[in-house]
Amino acid sequence: MAPWISSLVWTDYRLAVLLTVLVPLGILTIAFIKQNEPITRMMIIYWRVSSLLAISAYLLIAAMPVGFVTGWLSRLLIPIALWFWVDINESLQDQQSNPLKFSLLAWRWSISAYCLIGAIGQLPILRCAFMPSAAVQDPSREALCYLWMQPTWAFKELFHPTTTAWFLGGIGMVGLGAYVLYLAYFLFARLGKRKRSALG
């Protein structure tokens, strides 16, 4: 495995922490304080959708191959969630320029580009989802799959050092079940009634 591939994987995870956690958390906090309803609603929607990233991390901690698919899907769902809502987009256009609006728009473009480029870059990783758990954990057999899981293991050592991987994977599976149920409810029950309105 070429050293630059390892560097690329770790850089991707660092960007993920910045763009999918730290920046949106800051935007949501400021929007809530300033009582900016459209931006607050958009960020709440973002956090609901992007929770699939956290679920994927917990699945990969336990070397559950489905985590490769959910991680890839999350990169498609995030840009859709950020650009889908017509009323939020119109409300943002009507707002006067201010640092919060600029930060949101800059972040929205940045994370959309990051997710779409990442989704394309992760296409070779999807094959890992169709391999046995033992294979993706063996660097001599599937070095790329193994490499992609290393940052999630580092996350475990940092935040869950005494918790077993299988337990964290179980939490991931429960979270995935809840996510699928909510997504199905949204698609088949709410979307038809509210169309592309998030504020109504």
Q: How does pLDDT run across 2-59, given as a tens digit for each residue?
A: 678 899 999 999 999 999 999 999 999 999 999 999 999 999 999 999 999 999 999 9
Report the alpha-carbon distance of residue 140 to residue 146 in Å, rounded: 9
Whole-number average pLDDT of the chain: 94
Report the alpha-carbon distance of residue 48 to residue 107 in Å, rounded: 17
Q: How does pLDDT run across 79-117, given as a tens digit for each residue?
A: 999 999 999 999 999 999 999 999 999 999 999 999 999
Do residues 145 and 128 lie in contact, with contact meaning Cβ atoms separated by under 8 Å? yes
Q: What is the pTM of this model?
A: 0.93
Q: Is 95 left (phi over 0), alpha (psi -120 to 50) or beta?
A: beta
| CB within 8 Å of 69: residues ≥ 6 apart | 126, 129
Q: How does pLDDT run across 52-84, given as a tens digit for each residue?
A: 999 999 999 999 999 999 999 999 999 999 999
The residue among 186, 50, 197 whose CA lies nearest residue 112 is 50
* Res 1 pLDDT > 70: no
